[in-house]
Amino acid sequence: MKAATELERQGSRIKGHLEGFRHHPLSYTKHYLVRRFRFEKNRALRMYASGRSALGLPLPIRLREFEMVAAYHVAQDSYALQQYDANVVLIKAKHLDQRLADLGPDYGWGEWINRLQSLTALGDHDTVCSPGNVETVAGLVEPLIERAVEEFGKWDPADLRPAPQGPRVSIPTEATNGTGVNGSHTNGFDGQNGQYGLVIEDPGDFDSIRVSRIAKSTCAPHEVQIQVSHAAFQFKDVLIASGILSNSVVNVGMECAGVVSDIGTDVRHVSIGDRVVAAGSPSFRQYVIRDENLVFAVPEALSLDQAATVPTSFVTAAFSLEHEAKLSEGDDVLIHCASGGVGLAALQIAKDAGARIFATAGSEEKRDYLRKLGVEHIYNSRTTDFAEAIRADNNGRGVDVLLNCLSGAGLEASLEVMEENGRFIELGVSDSYSTDSLPDHARNNRVSHVRIDIDALRNDSPSLFGSTMRGILSRIESGQLEPLPFVTYEFDEALDAFELMSNARHIGKILLRIDPNYSEHAIERR
Protein backbone atom coordinates (compact mmCIF):
# COMPACT_ATOMS: atom_id res chain seq x y z
CA MET A 1 0.00 0.00 0.00
CA LYS A 2 1.03 3.63 -0.44
CA ALA A 3 0.91 4.14 3.30
CA ALA A 4 3.32 1.31 4.03
CA THR A 5 5.65 2.44 1.26
CA GLU A 6 5.65 6.02 2.50
CA LEU A 7 6.27 4.95 6.09
CA GLU A 8 9.20 2.83 4.96
CA ARG A 9 10.57 5.67 2.86
CA GLN A 10 10.44 8.05 5.78
CA GLY A 11 12.24 5.54 7.99
CA SER A 12 9.41 5.35 10.49
CA ARG A 13 9.91 3.14 13.52
CA ILE A 14 6.60 1.55 12.66
CA LYS A 15 7.41 -1.17 10.15
CA GLY A 16 5.13 -3.34 8.07
CA HIS A 17 1.75 -2.82 6.53
CA LEU A 18 -1.30 -0.77 7.41
CA GLU A 19 -3.36 -3.06 5.22
CA GLY A 20 -7.09 -2.37 5.35
CA PHE A 21 -6.53 0.82 7.34
CA ARG A 22 -8.25 3.05 4.83
CA HIS A 23 -10.51 5.19 7.02
CA HIS A 24 -9.75 7.22 10.08
CA PRO A 25 -8.42 5.47 13.19
CA LEU A 26 -10.72 5.24 16.17
CA SER A 27 -10.07 7.46 19.17
CA TYR A 28 -10.39 5.72 22.53
CA THR A 29 -10.92 7.25 25.93
CA LYS A 30 -7.41 6.88 27.35
CA HIS A 31 -5.23 5.49 24.60
CA TYR A 32 -4.99 5.50 20.88
CA LEU A 33 -4.32 2.35 18.86
CA VAL A 34 -2.58 2.25 15.52
CA ARG A 35 -3.41 -1.18 14.14
CA ARG A 36 -1.57 -3.22 11.58
CA PHE A 37 -2.11 -6.83 10.62
CA ARG A 38 -0.53 -8.40 7.57
CA PHE A 39 -2.18 -11.71 6.82
CA GLU A 40 -1.82 -14.42 4.23
CA LYS A 41 -4.98 -14.81 2.21
CA ASN A 42 -7.17 -17.55 3.71
CA ARG A 43 -4.50 -18.18 6.34
CA ALA A 44 -4.74 -15.67 9.17
CA LEU A 45 -8.44 -16.42 9.60
CA ARG A 46 -8.07 -20.11 8.86
CA MET A 47 -10.37 -21.30 11.63
CA TYR A 48 -13.38 -19.84 9.89
CA ALA A 49 -12.07 -20.18 6.33
CA SER A 50 -14.33 -22.44 4.31
CA GLY A 51 -14.12 -20.82 0.92
CA ARG A 52 -16.79 -18.34 1.96
CA SER A 53 -14.79 -15.27 1.02
CA ALA A 54 -11.36 -14.12 -0.06
CA LEU A 55 -10.67 -13.16 3.54
CA GLY A 56 -11.90 -16.42 4.96
CA LEU A 57 -14.66 -14.45 6.68
CA PRO A 58 -18.05 -16.09 7.14
CA LEU A 59 -20.60 -13.34 6.82
CA PRO A 60 -22.36 -12.09 8.78
CA ILE A 61 -19.90 -12.52 11.64
CA ARG A 62 -20.15 -11.47 15.26
CA LEU A 63 -17.33 -9.27 16.48
CA ARG A 64 -16.61 -11.63 19.38
CA GLU A 65 -16.04 -14.48 16.93
CA PHE A 66 -13.82 -12.26 14.83
CA GLU A 67 -11.78 -11.29 17.88
CA MET A 68 -11.32 -14.90 18.88
CA VAL A 69 -10.23 -16.00 15.41
CA ALA A 70 -7.70 -13.21 15.18
CA ALA A 71 -6.52 -13.70 18.75
CA TYR A 72 -6.04 -17.40 18.11
CA HIS A 73 -3.69 -16.78 15.22
CA VAL A 74 -1.82 -13.99 16.95
CA ALA A 75 -1.36 -15.84 20.25
CA GLN A 76 -1.42 -19.45 19.06
CA ASP A 77 2.30 -20.20 19.07
CA SER A 78 5.72 -18.66 18.98
CA TYR A 79 5.57 -18.05 15.24
CA ALA A 80 2.36 -16.08 14.92
CA LEU A 81 3.82 -12.64 15.55
CA GLN A 82 6.43 -13.19 12.86
CA GLN A 83 4.27 -15.17 10.46
CA TYR A 84 1.50 -12.58 10.32
CA ASP A 85 3.50 -9.51 11.36
CA ALA A 86 0.91 -8.69 13.98
CA ASN A 87 1.64 -5.82 16.28
CA VAL A 88 0.00 -2.97 18.11
CA VAL A 89 1.48 0.48 18.61
CA LEU A 90 0.09 2.49 21.51
CA ILE A 91 0.24 6.30 21.39
CA LYS A 92 -0.66 8.29 24.46
CA ALA A 93 -3.90 10.19 24.02
CA LYS A 94 -2.38 13.42 25.35
CA HIS A 95 -0.29 13.63 22.19
CA LEU A 96 -3.33 13.62 19.92
CA ASP A 97 -5.42 16.58 18.89
CA GLN A 98 -9.08 16.56 17.92
CA ARG A 99 -8.27 17.09 14.28
CA LEU A 100 -6.30 13.87 14.12
CA ALA A 101 -8.79 11.87 16.13
CA ASP A 102 -11.63 12.92 13.85
CA LEU A 103 -9.97 12.15 10.53
CA GLY A 104 -12.48 11.46 7.81
CA PRO A 105 -12.26 9.20 4.77
CA ASP A 106 -11.12 12.11 2.59
CA TYR A 107 -8.23 12.98 4.86
CA GLY A 108 -4.97 12.63 2.96
CA TRP A 109 -2.57 9.82 3.75
CA GLY A 110 0.37 12.19 3.57
CA GLU A 111 -0.76 14.38 6.47
CA TRP A 112 -1.69 11.34 8.56
CA ILE A 113 1.71 9.74 7.88
CA ASN A 114 3.55 12.92 8.76
CA ARG A 115 1.67 13.24 12.05
CA LEU A 116 2.23 9.58 12.93
CA GLN A 117 5.90 9.85 11.97
CA SER A 118 6.42 12.86 14.20
CA LEU A 119 4.83 11.12 17.19
CA THR A 120 6.83 7.91 16.82
CA ALA A 121 10.06 9.76 16.10
CA LEU A 122 9.71 11.46 19.48
CA GLY A 123 9.31 8.10 21.12
CA ASP A 124 5.82 8.94 22.33
CA HIS A 125 4.54 5.42 21.92
CA ASP A 126 4.87 1.93 23.27
CA THR A 127 5.01 -1.24 21.21
CA VAL A 128 2.60 -3.68 22.76
CA CYS A 129 2.90 -7.43 22.17
CA SER A 130 0.06 -8.79 24.25
CA PRO A 131 -2.24 -10.21 21.57
CA GLY A 132 -3.93 -12.56 24.00
CA ASN A 133 -5.77 -9.52 25.35
CA VAL A 134 -9.03 -9.47 23.43
CA GLU A 135 -9.42 -5.73 23.91
CA THR A 136 -6.11 -5.20 22.18
CA VAL A 137 -7.04 -7.68 19.47
CA ALA A 138 -10.29 -5.81 18.90
CA GLY A 139 -8.25 -2.77 17.99
CA LEU A 140 -5.92 -4.91 15.91
CA VAL A 141 -8.61 -6.45 13.71
CA GLU A 142 -10.85 -3.40 13.29
CA PRO A 143 -9.21 -2.49 9.95
CA LEU A 144 -9.99 -5.97 8.66
CA ILE A 145 -13.62 -5.51 9.63
CA GLU A 146 -13.61 -2.26 7.65
CA ARG A 147 -12.16 -4.12 4.71
CA ALA A 148 -14.80 -6.83 5.04
CA VAL A 149 -17.48 -4.17 4.93
CA GLU A 150 -15.83 -2.62 1.90
CA GLU A 151 -15.61 -5.90 0.00
CA PHE A 152 -18.76 -7.68 1.11
CA GLY A 153 -21.02 -4.88 2.24
CA LYS A 154 -22.06 -6.19 5.63
CA TRP A 155 -21.15 -7.62 9.00
CA ASP A 156 -23.04 -8.04 12.24
CA PRO A 157 -22.13 -4.80 14.03
CA ALA A 158 -20.95 -4.61 17.64
CA ASP A 159 -19.13 -1.99 19.65
CA LEU A 160 -15.42 -2.21 20.17
CA ARG A 161 -14.46 -1.99 23.81
CA PRO A 162 -12.04 0.76 24.85
CA ALA A 163 -8.33 -0.01 24.72
CA PRO A 164 -7.00 -1.10 28.13
CA GLN A 165 -5.42 1.53 30.32
CA GLY A 166 -2.73 -0.94 31.31
CA PRO A 167 -3.19 -4.42 32.74
CA ARG A 168 -2.97 -4.86 36.48
CA VAL A 169 -3.44 -7.59 39.01
CA SER A 170 -5.47 -6.54 42.03
CA ILE A 171 -7.12 -7.96 45.08
CA PRO A 172 -10.64 -6.84 45.97
CA THR A 173 -10.95 -5.21 49.38
CA GLU A 174 -13.96 -7.36 50.21
CA ALA A 175 -14.28 -11.10 49.72
CA THR A 176 -15.68 -11.84 46.29
CA ASN A 177 -19.14 -13.35 46.11
CA GLY A 178 -19.17 -15.45 43.00
CA THR A 179 -17.26 -18.18 41.26
CA GLY A 180 -13.55 -18.75 41.73
CA VAL A 181 -11.18 -20.38 39.30
CA ASN A 182 -12.39 -23.86 40.17
CA GLY A 183 -16.05 -22.91 40.28
CA SER A 184 -16.23 -22.91 44.09
CA HIS A 185 -18.41 -20.30 45.74
CA THR A 186 -16.45 -17.73 47.75
CA ASN A 187 -18.55 -16.25 50.53
CA GLY A 188 -15.73 -15.28 52.85
CA PHE A 189 -12.15 -15.78 53.87
CA ASP A 190 -10.36 -17.02 56.95
CA GLY A 191 -7.13 -18.85 57.64
CA GLN A 192 -8.83 -22.25 57.86
CA ASN A 193 -11.29 -22.20 54.95
CA GLY A 194 -9.93 -19.59 52.54
CA GLN A 195 -6.90 -19.00 50.40
CA TYR A 196 -5.60 -16.77 47.61
CA GLY A 197 -5.69 -17.90 44.02
CA LEU A 198 -5.53 -16.60 40.49
CA VAL A 199 -8.95 -15.79 39.04
CA ILE A 200 -9.84 -14.86 35.44
CA GLU A 201 -13.11 -13.01 35.82
CA ASP A 202 -13.65 -12.38 32.10
CA PRO A 203 -11.89 -14.86 29.78
CA GLY A 204 -10.69 -12.87 26.82
CA ASP A 205 -9.66 -9.88 28.91
CA PHE A 206 -6.20 -10.16 30.44
CA ASP A 207 -7.03 -7.10 32.54
CA SER A 208 -9.47 -9.30 34.49
CA ILE A 209 -6.72 -11.61 35.81
CA ARG A 210 -6.75 -11.14 39.57
CA VAL A 211 -5.30 -12.60 42.71
CA SER A 212 -8.46 -13.11 44.70
CA ARG A 213 -9.87 -14.74 47.81
CA ILE A 214 -11.29 -18.15 47.06
CA ALA A 215 -12.51 -21.14 49.04
CA LYS A 216 -10.17 -23.91 50.20
CA SER A 217 -11.64 -27.36 49.69
CA THR A 218 -11.18 -30.45 51.84
CA CYS A 219 -10.00 -33.89 50.74
CA ALA A 220 -12.22 -36.75 49.65
CA PRO A 221 -11.01 -40.19 50.80
CA HIS A 222 -8.72 -40.73 47.77
CA GLU A 223 -7.47 -37.14 47.47
CA VAL A 224 -4.40 -35.20 48.57
CA GLN A 225 -4.25 -31.53 49.54
CA ILE A 226 -1.02 -29.76 48.58
CA GLN A 227 0.28 -26.40 49.77
CA VAL A 228 1.66 -25.15 46.46
CA SER A 229 5.18 -23.81 46.22
CA HIS A 230 5.47 -23.40 42.44
CA ALA A 231 3.09 -23.87 39.50
CA ALA A 232 4.07 -24.00 35.83
CA PHE A 233 2.49 -22.34 32.80
CA GLN A 234 1.42 -24.09 29.62
CA PHE A 235 0.46 -22.34 26.41
CA LYS A 236 -3.02 -23.78 26.91
CA ASP A 237 -3.30 -21.46 29.92
CA VAL A 238 -2.92 -18.49 27.56
CA LEU A 239 -5.60 -19.87 25.25
CA ILE A 240 -7.98 -20.31 28.18
CA ALA A 241 -7.24 -16.86 29.60
CA SER A 242 -7.72 -15.38 26.14
CA GLY A 243 -11.15 -16.97 25.85
CA ILE A 244 -10.03 -18.93 22.79
CA LEU A 245 -10.52 -22.28 24.49
CA SER A 246 -13.85 -21.96 26.24
CA ASN A 247 -14.63 -24.05 29.30
CA SER A 248 -17.65 -23.92 31.55
CA VAL A 249 -15.08 -23.62 34.34
CA VAL A 250 -11.97 -21.49 33.81
CA ASN A 251 -9.14 -23.65 35.12
CA VAL A 252 -5.56 -22.50 34.56
CA GLY A 253 -2.32 -23.96 35.84
CA MET A 254 -1.93 -27.66 35.03
CA GLU A 255 1.03 -28.75 37.15
CA CYS A 256 2.53 -27.78 40.48
CA ALA A 257 4.89 -28.80 43.25
CA GLY A 258 4.61 -28.30 46.98
CA VAL A 259 4.15 -30.01 50.34
CA VAL A 260 1.31 -32.32 51.36
CA SER A 261 -0.89 -30.48 53.86
CA ASP A 262 -3.72 -33.00 54.23
CA ILE A 263 -4.73 -36.43 52.92
CA GLY A 264 -7.94 -38.38 52.53
CA THR A 265 -8.69 -41.40 54.65
CA ASP A 266 -7.84 -43.89 51.86
CA VAL A 267 -4.54 -42.32 50.75
CA ARG A 268 -1.56 -44.58 51.43
CA HIS A 269 1.42 -43.61 49.26
CA VAL A 270 2.06 -40.05 50.56
CA SER A 271 1.95 -38.48 54.01
CA ILE A 272 1.48 -34.98 55.40
CA GLY A 273 4.73 -33.08 55.06
CA ASP A 274 5.96 -34.97 51.97
CA ARG A 275 7.39 -32.97 49.09
CA VAL A 276 5.34 -33.79 45.99
CA VAL A 277 4.74 -32.80 42.39
CA ALA A 278 1.25 -33.09 40.89
CA ALA A 279 -0.55 -32.88 37.58
CA GLY A 280 -4.01 -31.41 37.04
CA SER A 281 -5.74 -28.07 37.21
CA PRO A 282 -6.21 -25.53 38.65
CA SER A 283 -2.76 -24.93 40.12
CA PHE A 284 -2.29 -21.15 40.47
CA ARG A 285 -3.41 -21.03 44.10
CA GLN A 286 -2.07 -21.61 47.58
CA TYR A 287 -3.72 -25.02 48.02
CA VAL A 288 -4.86 -27.61 45.49
CA ILE A 289 -6.69 -30.92 45.75
CA ARG A 290 -5.51 -33.80 43.57
CA ASP A 291 -6.42 -37.43 43.09
CA GLU A 292 -3.66 -39.49 44.71
CA ASN A 293 -2.88 -41.14 41.34
CA LEU A 294 -1.68 -37.76 40.04
CA VAL A 295 0.56 -36.96 43.03
CA PHE A 296 4.21 -38.08 43.00
CA ALA A 297 7.02 -37.94 45.55
CA VAL A 298 9.81 -35.52 44.61
CA PRO A 299 13.30 -37.11 44.58
CA GLU A 300 15.63 -35.68 47.22
CA ALA A 301 17.98 -34.25 44.60
CA LEU A 302 15.24 -32.07 43.10
CA SER A 303 14.08 -28.72 44.45
CA LEU A 304 10.37 -27.98 44.30
CA ASP A 305 10.76 -25.42 41.51
CA GLN A 306 12.72 -27.96 39.45
CA ALA A 307 10.05 -30.57 40.09
CA ALA A 308 7.31 -28.24 38.84
CA THR A 309 8.92 -28.24 35.38
CA VAL A 310 8.53 -31.99 34.94
CA PRO A 311 4.96 -33.38 34.61
CA THR A 312 3.39 -32.01 31.43
CA SER A 313 6.52 -31.50 29.34
CA PHE A 314 8.26 -34.77 30.12
CA VAL A 315 5.16 -36.96 30.08
CA THR A 316 4.14 -35.42 26.73
CA ALA A 317 7.61 -35.98 25.27
CA ALA A 318 8.00 -39.52 26.64
CA PHE A 319 4.49 -40.62 25.72
CA SER A 320 4.84 -39.15 22.21
CA LEU A 321 8.28 -40.47 21.33
CA GLU A 322 8.51 -43.70 23.32
CA HIS A 323 4.93 -44.94 23.60
CA GLU A 324 3.46 -43.71 20.30
CA ALA A 325 6.40 -43.23 17.90
CA LYS A 326 8.42 -46.17 19.29
CA LEU A 327 11.56 -44.08 18.80
CA SER A 328 14.65 -46.28 18.71
CA GLU A 329 18.37 -46.10 18.14
CA GLY A 330 19.26 -44.90 14.65
CA ASP A 331 15.91 -43.20 13.98
CA ASP A 332 15.98 -39.69 12.56
CA VAL A 333 13.64 -37.37 14.51
CA LEU A 334 12.61 -33.77 13.81
CA ILE A 335 11.64 -31.85 16.93
CA HIS A 336 10.00 -28.48 16.33
CA CYS A 337 10.01 -25.70 18.94
CA ALA A 338 12.90 -27.49 20.61
CA SER A 339 13.67 -24.69 23.07
CA GLY A 340 10.25 -24.90 24.74
CA GLY A 341 9.30 -27.16 27.62
CA VAL A 342 8.15 -30.16 25.57
CA GLY A 343 10.92 -29.58 23.02
CA LEU A 344 13.73 -29.63 25.59
CA ALA A 345 12.25 -32.71 27.25
CA ALA A 346 11.95 -34.38 23.83
CA LEU A 347 15.61 -33.65 23.09
CA GLN A 348 16.60 -35.55 26.21
CA ILE A 349 14.25 -38.46 25.45
CA ALA A 350 15.51 -38.69 21.86
CA LYS A 351 19.17 -38.52 22.91
CA ASP A 352 18.53 -41.22 25.50
CA ALA A 353 17.02 -43.42 22.77
CA GLY A 354 20.06 -43.01 20.53
CA ALA A 355 18.15 -41.17 17.79
CA ARG A 356 19.68 -38.66 15.37
CA ILE A 357 18.17 -35.28 16.21
CA PHE A 358 17.08 -32.46 13.90
CA ALA A 359 15.61 -29.47 15.73
CA THR A 360 14.07 -26.08 15.02
CA ALA A 361 13.70 -22.93 17.09
CA GLY A 362 12.28 -19.48 16.40
CA SER A 363 15.10 -17.10 17.29
CA GLU A 364 18.87 -16.96 17.11
CA GLU A 365 19.04 -16.82 20.89
CA LYS A 366 17.08 -20.05 21.15
CA ARG A 367 19.14 -21.74 18.43
CA ASP A 368 22.34 -20.72 20.23
CA TYR A 369 20.96 -22.32 23.38
CA LEU A 370 20.35 -25.57 21.50
CA ARG A 371 23.88 -25.51 20.12
CA LYS A 372 25.23 -25.23 23.65
CA LEU A 373 23.27 -28.39 24.48
CA GLY A 374 25.17 -30.19 21.74
CA VAL A 375 22.39 -30.35 19.14
CA GLU A 376 24.13 -30.50 15.76
CA HIS A 377 21.35 -29.97 13.22
CA ILE A 378 19.38 -26.80 14.07
CA TYR A 379 17.09 -24.79 11.79
CA ASN A 380 14.81 -21.75 11.79
CA SER A 381 11.22 -22.72 12.54
CA ARG A 382 9.87 -19.44 11.14
CA THR A 383 10.65 -20.33 7.54
CA THR A 384 10.13 -23.52 5.56
CA ASP A 385 13.80 -23.75 4.54
CA PHE A 386 14.38 -26.45 7.17
CA ALA A 387 12.82 -29.13 4.93
CA GLU A 388 15.37 -28.75 2.15
CA ALA A 389 18.20 -28.22 4.65
CA ILE A 390 17.41 -31.45 6.52
CA ARG A 391 17.65 -33.51 3.35
CA ALA A 392 20.91 -31.76 2.45
CA ASP A 393 22.34 -32.50 5.90
CA ASN A 394 21.02 -36.08 5.93
CA ASN A 395 22.36 -37.32 2.58
CA GLY A 396 19.06 -36.73 0.80
CA ARG A 397 17.05 -38.51 3.44
CA GLY A 398 14.18 -37.12 5.52
CA VAL A 399 13.13 -38.13 9.05
CA ASP A 400 11.41 -41.15 10.55
CA VAL A 401 9.64 -39.32 13.38
CA LEU A 402 8.15 -35.81 13.47
CA LEU A 403 7.19 -34.14 16.74
CA ASN A 404 5.21 -31.23 15.40
CA CYS A 405 3.68 -28.07 16.82
CA LEU A 406 3.75 -25.96 13.63
CA SER A 407 0.76 -25.03 11.52
CA GLY A 408 0.20 -23.78 7.99
CA ALA A 409 3.17 -23.82 5.64
CA GLY A 410 5.49 -25.04 8.40
CA LEU A 411 3.34 -28.11 8.95
CA GLU A 412 3.12 -28.82 5.22
CA ALA A 413 6.90 -28.52 4.83
CA SER A 414 7.38 -30.87 7.77
CA LEU A 415 5.23 -33.55 6.16
CA GLU A 416 7.27 -33.20 2.97
CA VAL A 417 10.36 -34.35 4.84
CA MET A 418 8.75 -37.51 6.28
CA GLU A 419 10.26 -40.84 5.19
CA GLU A 420 8.37 -44.01 4.30
CA ASN A 421 6.52 -45.48 7.30
CA GLY A 422 7.23 -42.30 9.21
CA ARG A 423 5.46 -41.48 12.47
CA PHE A 424 3.86 -38.05 12.63
CA ILE A 425 3.14 -36.99 16.23
CA GLU A 426 1.07 -33.82 16.42
CA LEU A 427 0.91 -31.51 19.40
CA GLY A 428 -1.20 -28.37 19.73
CA VAL A 429 -4.63 -27.30 18.55
CA SER A 430 -4.29 -26.08 14.96
CA ASP A 431 -4.45 -27.45 11.43
CA SER A 432 -5.30 -30.96 12.57
CA TYR A 433 -5.00 -33.96 10.28
CA SER A 434 -6.03 -37.55 10.57
CA THR A 435 -4.09 -40.39 8.93
CA ASP A 436 -6.71 -40.58 6.18
CA SER A 437 -6.60 -36.84 5.49
CA LEU A 438 -2.83 -36.49 5.21
CA PRO A 439 -1.47 -35.06 1.93
CA ASP A 440 -0.99 -37.58 -0.88
CA HIS A 441 2.79 -37.82 -0.56
CA ALA A 442 2.47 -38.63 3.16
CA ARG A 443 -0.22 -41.25 2.58
CA ASN A 444 1.81 -42.76 -0.27
CA ASN A 445 4.74 -43.06 2.15
CA ARG A 446 2.41 -44.77 4.66
CA VAL A 447 3.01 -42.06 7.25
CA SER A 448 1.00 -42.69 10.40
CA HIS A 449 -0.50 -39.86 12.42
CA VAL A 450 -1.25 -39.49 16.13
CA ARG A 451 -2.55 -36.41 17.90
CA ILE A 452 -1.44 -36.14 21.52
CA ASP A 453 -3.90 -34.76 24.08
CA ILE A 454 -2.02 -34.92 27.35
CA ASP A 455 -5.03 -33.64 29.32
CA ALA A 456 -7.14 -36.52 28.01
CA LEU A 457 -4.38 -38.97 28.89
CA ARG A 458 -4.18 -37.58 32.41
CA ASN A 459 -7.95 -37.59 32.95
CA ASP A 460 -8.89 -40.79 31.09
CA SER A 461 -5.82 -42.94 31.75
CA PRO A 462 -4.37 -41.77 35.06
CA SER A 463 -2.56 -45.10 35.55
CA LEU A 464 -0.71 -44.73 32.24
CA PHE A 465 0.04 -41.08 32.96
CA GLY A 466 1.23 -42.06 36.43
CA SER A 467 3.50 -44.88 35.30
CA THR A 468 5.06 -42.60 32.68
CA MET A 469 5.59 -39.86 35.26
CA ARG A 470 7.14 -42.24 37.80
CA GLY A 471 9.49 -43.53 35.11
CA ILE A 472 10.56 -39.97 34.29
CA LEU A 473 11.20 -39.10 37.95
CA SER A 474 13.26 -42.29 38.36
CA ARG A 475 15.39 -41.37 35.35
CA ILE A 476 15.87 -37.85 36.69
CA GLU A 477 16.88 -39.25 40.07
CA SER A 478 19.48 -41.49 38.41
CA GLY A 479 20.87 -38.61 36.35
CA GLN A 480 19.66 -40.06 33.06
CA LEU A 481 17.40 -37.02 32.52
CA GLU A 482 17.51 -33.49 33.91
CA PRO A 483 14.80 -31.03 34.97
CA LEU A 484 14.12 -28.16 32.60
CA PRO A 485 15.44 -24.59 32.76
CA PHE A 486 12.89 -22.08 34.02
CA VAL A 487 12.16 -18.46 34.83
CA THR A 488 10.17 -17.63 37.97
CA TYR A 489 7.54 -14.94 38.52
CA GLU A 490 5.98 -13.94 41.82
CA PHE A 491 2.26 -14.30 42.52
CA ASP A 492 1.65 -10.60 41.86
CA GLU A 493 3.48 -10.82 38.52
CA ALA A 494 1.09 -13.35 37.01
CA LEU A 495 0.05 -11.08 34.17
CA ASP A 496 3.66 -10.57 33.12
CA ALA A 497 4.08 -14.34 33.09
CA PHE A 498 0.99 -14.74 30.90
CA GLU A 499 2.34 -12.16 28.47
CA LEU A 500 5.77 -13.83 28.31
CA MET A 501 4.13 -17.15 27.56
CA SER A 502 1.82 -15.64 24.92
CA ASN A 503 4.80 -14.09 23.12
CA ALA A 504 6.95 -17.24 23.50
CA ARG A 505 10.14 -15.35 24.26
CA HIS A 506 11.22 -17.77 27.00
CA ILE A 507 13.34 -20.92 27.00
CA GLY A 508 12.10 -23.93 28.93
CA LYS A 509 9.37 -23.32 31.50
CA ILE A 510 7.69 -20.35 33.19
CA LEU A 511 6.89 -20.80 36.88
CA LEU A 512 4.69 -18.87 39.26
CA ARG A 513 5.93 -18.90 42.85
CA ILE A 514 2.97 -19.15 45.21
CA ASP A 515 3.65 -17.25 48.44
CA PRO A 516 2.04 -19.07 51.41
CA ASN A 517 2.05 -15.80 53.39
CA TYR A 518 0.47 -13.70 50.68
CA SER A 519 -1.35 -10.73 52.19
CA GLU A 520 -4.07 -8.49 50.88
CA HIS A 521 -2.95 -5.43 48.97
CA ALA A 522 -3.44 -3.89 45.56
CA ILE A 523 -0.74 -4.69 43.04
CA GLU A 524 0.15 -2.71 39.96
CA ARG A 525 1.89 -4.57 37.18
CA ARG A 526 5.60 -3.86 37.44
Higher-confidence residue of 82 and 438: namely 438
pLDDT at 32: 25
Which residues are CB-neighbours of 311 under 8 A, at least 6 positions away? 232, 254, 255, 277, 278, 279, 296, 469
Q: 518 in helix, strand or coil?
A: coil
Q: What is the mean pLDDT of the chain?
A: 69
The secondary structure of the chain in percent helix, strand, coil, rounded to multiples of 5, reads: 35, 20, 45
Identify the CA nearest to 312 among candidates 72, 514, 509, 515.
Answer: 509
- Give the DSSP per-residue string, 404-433: E---HHHHHHHHHTEEEEEEEEE-SSSS--
Of 225, 68, 62, residue with least CA distance to 135? 68
Closest Cα partner for 332 from 422, 447, 425? 422
pLDDT higher than 70, residue 427 = yes
Q: How far is the C-alpha of 151 from the C-alpha of 157, rounded, in Å? A: 16
Of the pLDDT bands very low, low, confident and very high (cuts 50, 70, 90), residue 441 is: low
Contact assessment for residue 513 and residue 229, using Cβ atoms and an 8 Å cutoff: yes
pTM value?
A: 0.65
Sign of the Cα pseudo-torsion (401, 404, 406, 411, in order) = positive
| Domains in the chain: ranges and CATH | 2-152 (no CATH), 194-310+483-513 (3.90.180.10), 313-457 (3.40.50.720)
pLDDT tens by residue, 25-73: 222 222 222 222 222 222 222 222 222 222 333 323 333 333 333 333 3
Determine phi and psi for 60, rounding to 5 degrees.
-75, 160
128 vs 412, residue with greater confidence: 412
Query: What stretch of H or E contains 307?
Result: helix 304-308
Band of residue 411 on the pLDDT scale cut at 50, 70, 90: confident
Q: Is 489 left (phi over 0), alpha (psi -120 to 50) or beta?
A: beta
**φ/ψ of residue 124, rounded to 5:** -85, 50
Q: What is the spatial distance between Cα 435 and Cα 424, in angstroms, rounded to a whole number?
A: 9
**Averaged over 158-176, what is the pLDDT?**
28
